Amino acid sequence: MDQLSGGPVSAMWCWLDVQSLLLFSVVFLVIADYVKNRRPNSFPPGPWALPFVGNIFSVDFSKTHESLTKFAETYGDVYSLRMGQTWMVVLNGFNTLKEALLTQGHCVADRPILPLQDDVAPNQGIITTNGHMWKHQRRFALFTLKYFGVGKKSLESAIVDESMHFCKEIADLKGEPFNPHIITNNAVANIICTLVFGHRFEYGDEKFMKLMGLLDKGIQIEASIWAQLYNSFPVLMRRVPGPHHTIRKIYSDFMDLIKVDISKHKEDWDPSEPRDYIDCYLSEIQKSNGDAFAEATFYEDNLIICALELFVAGSETTSTTLRWAFLYMAKYPEIQEKVQAEIDRVIGQSRQPSMMDRANLPYTDAVIHEILRMGNIVPLSLPHSTNNEMQLGNYTIPKGVVIIPNLTSVLFDKKEWETPYTFNPGHFLNEEGKFVKRAAFIPFSAGKRVCLGENLARMELFLFFTSFMQRFTFSMPSGVKPVLDYRFGVTLAPIQYKICAKLRQVSSSQ
């Protein structure tokens, strides 16, 4: 009987022992996490972080830039967040970003190694690499893009010709409502495709539409909470199903399409007469193979990633800016009319726009800049990482900390803009109506990691926008009001919409 009655009692004590062990383990892990990850005295302040996950659930990833800007009201222009086991410092306000990116730019020139990207392309490409790899690839890309016309008349002609293709497509719609997303992507992407791949895509091309579909889906996932969880807990998230696994499939499909193009280049490649970026890169690979002492930074797998990054960076941001432009012109018809009047006065309707016209189109130039400011296309730039300990104000930021430059806080800084939340081209005009540069206008970021395609983007935006305003008047479909809501991703894009483009009447005097 004693043995029988002792069975349940023993089981109960065993269960209590298990509970005690579990409780002790949890308490121990929480304390260990706190001790390991507590903020040093000189580290920037920030919101209280949960054990293990940190501040991941403190941020609304559907509008991350707004969440991070809001935190600055409580914790100041320099504050910290913890994402899983990773600390990041968020920089807000023009003066703070100027100090970090320009004055101390050498300390934040690196990119963090993010597991989601590293799993796909470890230390490859231009945008996410560091050290010699980054310097060699960036220098080569800048030189090659310039060689093939960036900033020159030859590329200007290609952009104007592409704008004519775009204008014909929308003129054929005869003012009927259309979604400008795919057609705008196609027109803009054709410029970088010409530079990188040596050819353009016809509108509606099946291969191109597949590329654009992959790109659109990828930039949303990369800025989602799934991506943040993956980067914070890679060992776990590699085994957990979810949208984060789609990124690897998207990159794989993208790279397969680029590999086909590279193979075609090899068939008739002539090193003495390079046609595009891929041809030039193949020549660099050949040089590297022949030099036993050369660093292995140029090789075919790296070419694939570099071409992919140039395509993405050279198409998405400018295309998104133009889609914001259509919306803002429809919302503010009086501004659209002033742009058209200036273009009619300076260019007329009998010739195509040229970059030489920009100096004589100050109002049009101001409107383009205000679209970039209000559109806030890359609201959080791309993450940086400290490669040395740095002092920022009263705070000490150790080596290896992720730095988030909050461009939103600069483009809408009340100290820098007269009416920060109002679409106002006057921000870029002086009292005489002449265009003025603003130091706080940094939509392309600043410092050593400033967007390498800035000159290309500026040329495309001016020529495309001026061509469209010269030929069309944009308005919303009957009974529909412009909605300026956004979809957050790596870029801040307008939600899908339809718009009407009515062909302007050619003046009999022109």
Domains of the chain: 20-503 (1.10.630.10)
CA atoms within 13 A on the CB side of 234: 10
DSSP β-ladder status, 486-488 and 402-405: unpaired
At 64 the pLDDT is: 93
Q: Is 385 helix (H, G, I), strand (E, B) or coil?
A: strand
Q: Are 164 and 132 in contact (CB under 8 A)?
A: no
Q: How far is CA 363 from CA 215, 285, 324, 341, 429, in A?
A: 33, 46, 18, 10, 7
Q: What is the identity of the amino acid at 475?
A: S
178 DSSP assignment: B
Helix (H) or strand (E) holding 330: helix 300-331
At 7 the pLDDT is: 62
**CA separation for the pair 390, 96 (Å, rounded):** 13
At 9 the pLDDT is: 60
Burial 272-286 (b: 16+ CB within 10 A, else e): eebbbbbbbbbbbee
Helices (H) and strands (E) in the chain, counts: 17, 10
Its pTM stands at 0.89
Kindly report the three-state secondary structure assignment for every residue of 124-137. Answer: CCCCCCCHHHHHHH
Q: Are 365 and 428 in contact (CB under 8 A)?
A: yes
At 26 the pLDDT is: 60
**Which residues of the chain are modeled with pLDDT < 70?**
1-37, 151, 290-295, 506-510
Residue 109's φ and ψ, nearest 5 degrees, are -80, -15
Residue 90's φ and ψ, nearest 5 degrees, are -100, 130
Angle formed by the axes of helices 206-222 and 244-267, nearest 10°:
140
At 354 the pLDDT is: 95
**CA separation for the pair 129, 305 (Å, rounded):** 11
At 2 the pLDDT is: 47
| Contact residues for 331 (Cβ-Cβ < 8 A; gap 6+) | 423, 482, 484
At 507 the pLDDT is: 58
**CA separation for the pair 358, 460 (Å, rounded):** 12
Residue 397's φ and ψ, nearest 5 degrees, are -110, 115
Helix (H) or strand (E) holding 488: strand 486-488
Q: Are 70 and 408 in contact (CB under 8 A)?
A: no
At 395 the pLDDT is: 96
At 239 the pLDDT is: 85
DSSP secondary structure letters along 207-229: HHHHHHHHHHHHHHHHTSHHHHH
At 29 the pLDDT is: 58
**CA separation for the pair 433, 366 (Å, rounded):** 10
At 4 the pLDDT is: 45
Q: What is the identity of the amino acid at 37?
A: N
Q: Report the residue count for the chain.
A: 510
Q: Are 127 and 119 in contact (CB under 8 A)?
A: no
Q: What is the identity of the amino acid at 477?
A: P
